[in-house]
Amino acid sequence: MAGTLLEQRMIRWLCGLAGYASETEGEDCAASASAESLAHGAAGSALSGQERASAQGRHSDRSGEGSSPSTELLPHETTPRVRQPDSLNAAKPDGVFTSGGTQSNYMGLLLARDRFCMSRWHWNVRELGLHPAASRMRVLCSEAAHFTVKQSAAQLGLGEQAVVSIPVDSQHRMRPDLLEQQLTQLRDDGLLPFALVATAGTTDFGSIDPLPELAAIARRHDLWLHTDAAYGGALLLSDKHAGLLAGLDLADSIAVDFHKMFYQPISCGAFLLRDRHDFRFMRQLADYLNPAEDEEDGVPNLVTKSVQTTRRFDALKLYISLQHIGRLAFGEMIDYTLELAGGTAALIRQEPAFELMNEPVMNAIVFRYVPASCPVGRSPEEWSDELNVRIRSTLLSEGTAVLARTKANGRLWLKFTLLNPRTELKHTKQILQKAKEIGKALEAGG
């Protein structure tokens, strides 16, 4: 039971952090810590939590299995970081820990699908399967959204054809004007848009969609708004950068990953829901697991709001890290990596041998080496792509650095994702210098 209670309290803290209305009062469960503790603290405490979670073995959703740490580990009740207007307090938030963004995005679209079918046709998908008109249902997201939006649509029986991608602006954010146009066109075509997926931190660029504008559009068109904040959700820990997520609290559901900028071992994520009543669409009761009597008696149980039955006690990792490091120090770590990204982007911008693809919003930087010339018989695009592939593989094989790669506008690019607060500007400068030297040598060798 104690493990279930701790997870529930961590969820309440997260809901408050995200700006959802909260019922809790009292101290913040994450004490502050000095910047000097950053070097080893996050990884060490998270690994400690990982070991304890593993030692606990199975964390069943059943509350009475006794597979949890003692109640002495329970955090204090927490205070929401952002107070909501009284008009929104009618909806009580909730959530559940998940394996990560993939599962959380799936859950968001599952609830969106089922609520739409119930609202429009009084059709219970869980009991009856897909409605005959389900092939007309549509999900909208940006063209930079995570692949799991399409994956989830396929798994939910709607097919990838149900996902409509909206073009992005020069900062790789969804364009609200084109979203409005597409919604009008879909309805003119007799199709049924039911969900909008916003992204707070795209995989390649760390771009954040205009959340308040998208929320307003979702309200006007009666769409479920799911915000994929798997990458960017950690900005909530930063007093300096939390404003980048303004409008996050307007989403019907939110995906957050803790094995990204929360520095937790894989796997650890959460699905947050603005109105806990919507969990009714996945509520299942079993006499041997979560009987109705338990629910009537107020016994906490997580089976009714999870796609998993047996799960690891991943809430413990995050709890221990927050207790040891503190929210303020986590925020300092995040602030530092964003500043490091800005400094690294400036180095790239100043070097003629490189082209910068994006001005970093978070800590992702997309760039490439630009060859000075092109061999006879080769196209400049093909030659540039080949050089960047070889630069990346050489850096890896020599043990210098591991750079990611991606494609944008049909071209190949290299990518820094600067998550480690112990990385310094001198390190990224050295990597860039080495990449330049490799590129020049490859050009000379043809």
pLDDT of residue 40: 41
Using CA atoms, how far apart are residues 227 and 270, in angstroms rounded to an integer?
12
CA-angle at 263, arms to 322 and 347, nearest 5°: 125
Contact 362, 371 (CB under 8 A): no
CA–CA distance, 137 with 133 (Å, rounded to integer):
7
Residue 426 makes CB contacts below 8 A (sequence gap 6+) with: none
Outline where DSSP puts E strands in 14-76. 59-60
Q: Give the length of the chain.
A: 446
332/326 Cα distance (integer angstroms): 10
3-state secondary structure labels for all residues of 244-258: HHCCHHHCCEEEEEC
Q: How far apart are CA 17 and CA 79, in angstroms?
A: 8
CATH number of the structural domain 330-445: 3.90.1150.10
Give the residue from 343, 381, 357 showing the smallest Cα distance to 170: 357
What CATH number matches the domain at 2-325, 3.40.50.11540, 3.40.50.300, 3.40.640.10, 3.40.1550.10? 3.40.640.10
pLDDT tens digit at each of 446 positions of the chain: 666 788 889 999 999 999 997 554 333 333 222 223 333 445 555 545 555 554 444 444 443 333 333 323 333 333 334 334 444 445 799 999 999 999 999 999 999 999 999 999 999 999 999 999 999 999 999 999 999 999 999 999 999 999 999 999 999 999 999 999 999 999 999 999 999 999 999 999 999 999 999 999 999 999 999 999 999 999 999 999 999 999 999 999 999 999 999 999 888 999 999 999 999 998 776 656 667 777 666 666 677 777 877 778 889 999 999 999 999 999 999 999 999 999 999 999 999 999 999 999 999 999 999 999 999 889 999 999 999 999 999 999 999 999 999 999 899 999 999 999 999 999 999 999 999 999 999 999 86
Question: What pLDDT was estimated at residue 68?
Answer: 35
Q: In what order do the strands lie in the sheet with 224-229?
A: 94-98, 269-273, 253-257, 224-229, 192-199, 137-142, 163-166
Dist. CA 271–CA 108, nearest whole Å:
8
**Parallel, antiparallel or unpaired: strands 269-273 and 94-98:** antiparallel
Supply the pLDDT for residue 181: 99
- Looking up tokens 């927490």 gives 78
Spell out the residues 6+ positions from residue 354 whose beta carbon is closer than 8 angstroms to its own. 348, 367, 368, 369, 370, 432, 435, 436
Q: What are phi and psi of 305, to 5 degrees?
A: -135, 30
Strand 411-417 and strand 404-408: the pairing is antiparallel
* Residue 27 CA, distance from chain mean position: 26
Spell out where 81-191 has E strands: 94-98, 137-142, 163-166
Q: Are 297 and 83 in contact (CB under 8 A)?
A: no
Domain ranges of the chain: 2-325, 330-445
Cα–Cα distance measured from residue 13 to residue 50, given in angstroms and rounded to the nearest whole number? 20
Of 185, 125, 96, 113, the C-alpha closest to 149 is 113
Per DSSP, 415 falls in state: E
* C-alpha of 15 from chain center: 15
DSSP of 370-384, one letter per residue?
--S---TTS-HHHHH
| DSSP conformation class of 84 | P
Pairing relation of β-strands 364-369 and 411-417? Answer: antiparallel
pLDDT of residue 360: 97
